A and B are shown apart, each in its own frame.
Chain A
Amino acid sequence: KQEVTQIPAALSVPEGENLVLNCSFTDSAIYNLQWFRQDPGKGLTSLLLIQSSQREQTSGRLNASLDKSSGRSTLYIAASQPGDSATYLCAVRPSYNTDKLIFGTGTRLQVFP
């Protein structure tokens, strides 16, 4: 059974720092992995989608990497800003059941000025 874990559950950093959020999954048979951002009281916003054949995806200050064999993905945020404060979730789509999307419980990030 696929399980997705995000550690740490919460992170607080000063503005300007480069930081890495981690996502681990137990079964390497995935079709793709997606990173989302969730602001308090809001829905999820898709940040990056990485197909299983890809190693990384970049969008602005965000870079997501995928290492299927080790069951890990990282979201790198460069030069963090207070506006980056939110909860970040990763989700994997298993190869054996592409109808499903299995979510981690998220990392709550606070960037202070």
Chain B
Amino acid sequence: EAQVTQNPRYLITVTGKKLTVTCSQNMNHEYMSWYRQDPGLGLRQIYYSMNVEVTDKGDVPEGYKVSRKEKRNFPLILESPSPNQTSLYFCASSSGLVTGELFFGEGSRLTVL
């Protein structure tokens, strides 16, 4: 089954404790992206990647890092989480950035205390 898989789905952590949210897709998509969703603000792009070893900042990259060492994986790293990073995070992938549909993972709800 074609899917985008995120882990963990739910996480409660404390300020400053590094964490990684993993994302993996099995559709051989070149394009992958991370979004955060907050009430009243909608979905905002954090980082995206056009291909292996190619990453670029989205609209809200501060406090986040990503890497794309393999085509299927695109982890999101919070080096020193802060409470304002409490949010619902989505990973997405697409076969073609411009013409392809965007497929989303189930989401990861992160709470930073």
**Which of A's residues lie within 8 Å of B, judged by CB?**
31-32, 34, 36, 41-46, 49, 51, 89, 91, 93, 98-101, 103-106
A103 and B43 contacting across the interface, CB-CB below 8 Å: yes
Interface residues of B in 43-72 (CB under 8 A from A): 43-45, 48, 50, 56, 58-59
A32 and B42 contacting across the interface, CB-CB below 8 Å: no
B98 and A32 contacting across the interface, CB-CB below 8 Å: yes
A49 and B101 contacting across the interface, CB-CB below 8 Å: yes
**Dominant secondary structure of chain A at its interface with chain B:** strand
Total interface residues on B, CB under 8 Å, equals 25
Per-residue CB contact flags for chain B residues 73-105 toward chain A (1 = under 8 Å, else 0) read 000000000000000001010000111011111
A45 CB, min distance to chain B CBs, angstroms? 7
B98 and A93 contacting across the interface, CB-CB below 8 Å: yes
Return chain B residues, CB-CB under 8 Å to A34: 101-102
Return chain B residues, CB-CB under 8 Å to A46: 101-104
Return chain A residues, CB-CB under 8 Å to B101: 34, 46, 49
A30 CB, min distance to chain B CBs, angstroms? 11
B99 and A99 contacting across the interface, CB-CB below 8 Å: no
- Asked if A103 meets B56 with Cβ closer than 8 Å, knowing A46-B103, A98-B97, the reply is no
B45 and A100 contacting across the interface, CB-CB below 8 Å: yes
Please indicate which of the listed interface residues B33, B43, B92, B98 has the most CB atoms of chain A within 10 Å of its own CB: B43
Residue of B nearest to A49 (CB): B101
B28 CB, min distance to chain A CBs, angstroms? 17
